[in-house]
Structure 1
Amino acid sequence: MRTVRGWFQDTAGGLPARFWYLWTGTLINRLGSFVLVFLAIYLTQERGFSASQAGLVIGLWGVGGAVGTTIGGTLADRWGRRPTLFTAQLGGAVMMLALGLARPLWAVALGALLLGAFAEAARPAFGAMMIDVVPEKDRLRAFSLNYWAINLGFASAAVLAGFAAQAGYLLLFIIDAATTLVTALIIFTRVGETRRARPVSKGAAAPTGALRTILADRVFLGFVALNLFAALIFLQHISMLPIAMGDSGLSPATYGTVIALNGVLIVVGQLFVPRLIRGRSRSHVLALAALVTGVGFGLTAFAEAAWFYGLTVLIWTLGEMLQSPSNATLIAELSPGELRGRYQGVFSLSWQIAGAAAPILGGLIREHAGNSTLWVGCAILGGAMAVAHLISGPARERRAVALRSVATPTEPVTVIEPPAPQAAEAAAISPAEPAHAN
Structure 2
Amino acid sequence: MKTLLKRYLSNYKGIAKEIWFLSFVTFINRAGAMVIPFLSLYLTDVKSFTLPEVGWIMTSYGFGSLVGNFIGGKLTDIIGYYKTIVLSLFAGGLGFIGIQFLDSFNALCLGVFFLMLAVDTYRPAIFVATDVYSINNNVTRNIGLIRLAINLGFSIGPVIGGILIAKANYASIFWVDGITCILAATSLIVLLKPKKGKKKEEKVTVVKEGVSPYKNPAFLLFFFIMVVNAIAFVQYFSSVPVFYKQHHFLNEDTIGWLLFLNGVMIVFLEMPLIVFLEKLQITKVTATILGIVFLAFSFIILNYSDWFGILIIGMILMTLGEMIGSPFANALALDMAPIGRKGSYMGLYSMSFSISHIIGHNAIMNTIDQFGFKTTWFWLFVALIVVAAITLYLPKMMKSLKTEVK
- What amino acid does structure 2 have at the position aligned with 1:329? A
Q: Determine the C-alpha separation between the residues in 2 that align with 1:188 and 1:72.
A: 18
8 Å Cα contact 2:73-2:345 kept in structure 1: yes
Q: State the partner residue of 1:238.
A: 237
Residues 376-434 of structure 1: CA distance to partner in whole angstroms, max 9, x if unpaired?
32332232222222221244478786499xxxxxxxxxxxxxxxxxxxxxxxxxxxxxx
Q: Determine the C-alpha separation between the residues in 2 that align with 1:38 and 1:112.
A: 14
Q: State the partner residue of 1:281.
A: 283
Pick one of 359, 362, 365 that aligns with 1:360. 362
Pick one of 341, 344, 347 that aligns with 1:345. 347
CA positional deviation for 1:107:
4.9
CA positional deviation for 1:307:
1.3
Pick one of 196, 219, 231 that aligns with 2:202. 196
CA positional deviation for 1:82:
1.7
Q: Determine the C-alpha separation between the residues in 2 that align with 1:110 and 1:360.
A: 16
8 Å Cα contact 2:59-2:358 kept in structure 1: yes
CA positional deviation for 1:26:
0.9
Q: State the partner residue of 1:80.
A: 80
Indicate yes or no: 2:139 matched with 1:139: yes
Pick one of 389, 392, 396 that aligns with 1:390. 392
CA positional deviation for 1:222:
0.9
1:45 to 1:367, Cα distance in 2 relative to 1, 3 A: closer
Pick one of 321, 327, 339 that aligns with 2:323. 321
1:223 to 1:82, Cα distance in 2 relative to 1, 3 A: same
Q: Determine the C-alpha separation between the residues in 1 that align with 2:59 and 2:272.
A: 36
Residues 107-144 of structure 1: CA distance to partner in whole angstroms, max 9, x if unpaired?
55443222111111121112212221123521222212
**Structure whose alpha-carbon radius of gyration is higher:** 1
- Work out the number of aligned pairs and report it: 395
8 Å Cα contact 2:206-2:340 kept in structure 1: no
Q: Determine the C-alpha separation between the residues in 2 that align with 1:110 and 1:295.
A: 35
Structure 1: runs of 5+ lacking an equivalent: 405-438
Indicate yes or no: 2:130 matched with 1:130: yes
- Identify the range of structure 1 (93-102 vs 363-372) with the bigger mean alpha-carbon deviation: 363-372
- Identify the range of structure 1 (85-94 vs 257-266) with the bigger mean alpha-carbon deviation: 257-266
1:252 to 1:299, Cα distance in 2 relative to 1, 3 A: same
Q: State the partner residue of 1:175.
A: 176
Q: State the partner residue of 1:222.
A: 221
- What amino acid does structure 2 have at the position aligned with 1:309? L
Secondary structure (helix, strand or coil) at the match of 1:338 reads: coil
CA positional deviation for 1:167:
4.4
1:384 to 1:136, Cα distance in 2 relative to 1, 3 A: farther
CA positional deviation for 1:301:
2.2
What is the TM-score when the length of structure 2 is the normalising length? Answer: 0.85
8 Å Cα contact 1:245-1:304 kept in structure 2: no
8 Å Cα contact 2:30-2:150 kept in structure 1: yes
Q: Determine the C-alpha separation between the residues in 2 that align with 1:54 and 1:170.
A: 18
Q: State the partner residue of 1:154.
A: 154
Q: Give the superposed CA RMSD.
A: 3.0
Secondary structure (helix, strand or coil) at the match of 1:196 reads: helix
Secondary structure (helix, strand or coil) at the match of 2:289 reads: helix
1:142 to 1:244, Cα distance in 2 relative to 1, 3 A: same
Q: Determine the C-alpha separation between the residues in 2 that align with 1:129 and 1:240.
A: 32
What is the TM-score when the length of structure 1 is the normalising length? Answer: 0.80
Q: Determine the C-alpha separation between the residues in 2 that align with 1:333 and 1:281.
A: 12
8 Å Cα contact 2:57-2:108 kept in structure 1: yes
> Percent of aligned pairs with the same residue?
23
Q: Determine the C-alpha separation between the residues in 2 that align with 1:26 and 1:304.
A: 36
Q: State the partner residue of 1:21.
A: 21
Secondary structure (helix, strand or coil) at the match of 2:225 reads: helix
Q: Determine the C-alpha separation between the residues in 1 that align with 2:398 and 2:98.
A: 44
1:11 to 1:268, Cα distance in 2 relative to 1, 3 A: same
Q: Determine the C-alpha separation between the residues in 1 that align with 2:81 and 2:256.
A: 36
8 Å Cα contact 1:128-1:340 kept in structure 2: yes
Q: Determine the C-alpha separation between the residues in 1 that align with 2:190 and 2:313.
A: 44
Q: Determine the C-alpha separation between the residues in 2 that align with 1:96 and 1:162.
A: 17
Q: Determine the C-alpha separation between the residues in 2 that align with 1:149 and 1:86.
A: 17
1:385 to 1:276, Cα distance in 2 relative to 1, 3 A: farther
Structure 2: runs of 5+ lacking an equivalent: none
- What amino acid does structure 1 have at the position aligned with 2:63? V
Residues 50-89 of structure 1: CA distance to partner in whole angstroms, max 9, x if unpaired?
3466555443233222111111111110122222222222
Q: Determine the C-alpha separation between the residues in 1 that align with 2:11 and 2:181.
A: 27
CA positional deviation for 1:106:
5.3
Q: Determine the C-alpha separation between the residues in 2 that align with 1:246 and 1:101.
A: 25
Secondary structure (helix, strand or coil) at the match of 1:50 reads: coil
1:157 to 1:107, Cα distance in 2 relative to 1, 3 A: same
CA positional deviation for 1:249:
4.6
